[in-house]
Structure 1
Amino acid sequence: MVRVIEDMFGIAVNPMTQKTDQVRRFTLSTDRGMCVSIITLGAIIQRINVPDVDGKLEDVCLGYDDVAGYYRNQPAYFGATIGRVANRVARGRFKLCGKEVSVSRNFRGQVSAPRAALWAFDSVIWGCGGNTQRWRYLPSTSRRTATKGTPERLPVNINFSLNDTGCFGMRIEARAKATTCVNITNHAYFNLAGHGSGRDTLLQHMLMIKAQKIVDTDLEQIPTGKLMRIRNTPYDFSSLVNLGKRIGQLANCPIHGFDNNYCVDVPPNRVQLVARVVHPCSGRFMEVHTNQPGVQFYTANNLPDEDRGGAPNIGKAGAHYVRHGSFCLETQKYPDAMNHDDFPSIVLNPGQLYDHQVVYRFGACPKRI
């Protein structure tokens, strides 16, 4: 049986109304002890408690204990729902219905990454009605966004779910009244040993991603329009492989870690397994099931490197969040898809339904030390 508890998490200024709103937290929990907390600020996944093989609970999702923490560290987008267009948009420009569209550029002044609007989904207060697991974002028509040439109103619904088998799901739906681009994701950071356990435990993880290609990018991580085959390269996770070994193989690369969109072969309208992560020491595992054609794999390369004097990023319960101390597996379509006709389209026409489904299945298996 799944229970839902609501509590007050804090207050924040809603950029859509310029008024102070309550930030509420909803916690879904099962009889087996697993629980997931989501806050209405940014539809952020704030906590995921998962038992290990011995039943010991650990929070495996990075985040903060208060609203101020999320504001201080907003560029990291911990646990946030990202949209309306996630990932990179080259030069912050694209053509839609023959017209040039410009979006806000927030990455080195050249790229929109990972969001493409002044009031992006991670910044607003989401609403939820009688069904507290179904959340809604309805942009105001009285204000303009920074996305010129695209419709201002894009009603979005997210249905959060949890069941007794350890499956935490998100179903994101949107309909537009005018043609627009939509590519939504969630930017949760995970460490199956515990959210604050750091780099050493992250490097113990084993990872599998069901993909034979990644989106090829230039030195600025902008897609070239090509797909790169990865068999027998450090990017190949077609079978379970140690993550520490793979990160070590990228020591001399400019990014010094992974930040790549994997092209997973998912049939239309089907949700299937695309990735699996195992932490052998605790026995915890996480599977990712989705109907999306891409998974952005990121190893927290931009978090502070405290070994080299980086200022600490202090998270929940005083934990230090560090470079290569966590990972993201973000289901989505390909980055910069609107500028590449060969990529799966992110254009949403009037009457069409944007239907993004993702299920994170957590569990535990016998330890392998």
Structure 2
Amino acid sequence: MDRRDLLAAGAALGTAGLAGCAGLFETQSARRGQFTTVEDRGPQVYHPTHSDGMTMIGSGTNGRYRLGLMYSYAHAFWTITGSDTNRADVGDEETVHLMATVWDDETGTVLPSANVSAEVLKGGETVDSRSLWPMLSQNMGYHFGDNMVLDGDGTYTARIEVGAMQARRLGALRDAFDEGATIEVEFDHERSTIGDLPYEEFPDEKGNAGALDPAEMDAPIAQVPEPDALPGTVLGSATSGDAEFVAFRPDDAPEFVDGGAYLAVSPRTPYNRYPLPFMGLAGTLSRGGETLFEDRFEPAVGPEIGYHYGAGVEAVESGDSLALAVNTPPGVARHEGYETAFIDMPEMDLTLEA
């Protein structure tokens, strides 16, 4: 299935060693040949077996779009189709794991585009080209990436195509990102750079409930606010599939809500509060046994709220019942520690406190 079809159905950055500078160091060739994870891991977020080093290789802008480009050595990850995960192993010719983060240059908001592709050129000739997976990793959060081929040492140009934002935009993002953009990043590559990246193992923590800390980055990383920092009234929360869902009513309803209230739901990962994009989320709002709203919650993003799902309703009162159903789990590829969570997500029932 085409990656963009998959999504339709269902934050440049630091320096070398962002994922951890202490630990065991190995050569690129040794690391490429291994795949590690824990046995009998449950359907939860867990501490991974290791942390991969990465390095920033360049950045670029086009209008309000800003992009940071990084790479690590090529490694396995998991894709998802519906509720089924598939491990994507490293191909014989793939040499690096290329990663991109896209954000608004004015507000620093990480942008949840569904369609990002990369063409890598050397000497004007295409070396590799592919659509990038929207991904979730514990040290980097939401980004785009894939294993790709680089043809030895030299100077390269990465031509990144960023699609228009499909999520509704709120606040300072309202009139931006209706169209996509092309951003070119030139970078120098030496094979020794990949071989020298740090690699840290966690023999004592691996498999335990928990997560790596977010990387220290010189640019935004996609995190949603703590519940008490959301701009509005928190109405209730629930957990499903090891994700936390916070229901709230923002202080100001967006312009597309006609005379009612904006009921928002902010799903996030445990520990690091990363948003969970490309989820099919529906809700039923009831009062005294009467159904007031029953429909899909639409994805939206705003500088103060971050990525979330929302719907316009007539009003929200204390004692209202809200049933939330995840019809499609988050359509993002996952790095180790996230691949078993956010898949089997039972329905949630909340009694709202307005």
**TM-score normalised to structure 2 length:** 0.22
Which structure has the larger Rg over C-alpha atoms? 2
Larger RCO: 1 or 2 (CA < 8 Å, sep 6+): 2
Relative to total residues, which structure has the larger strand share, 1 or 2? Answer: 2
**TM-score normalised to structure 1 length:** 0.22
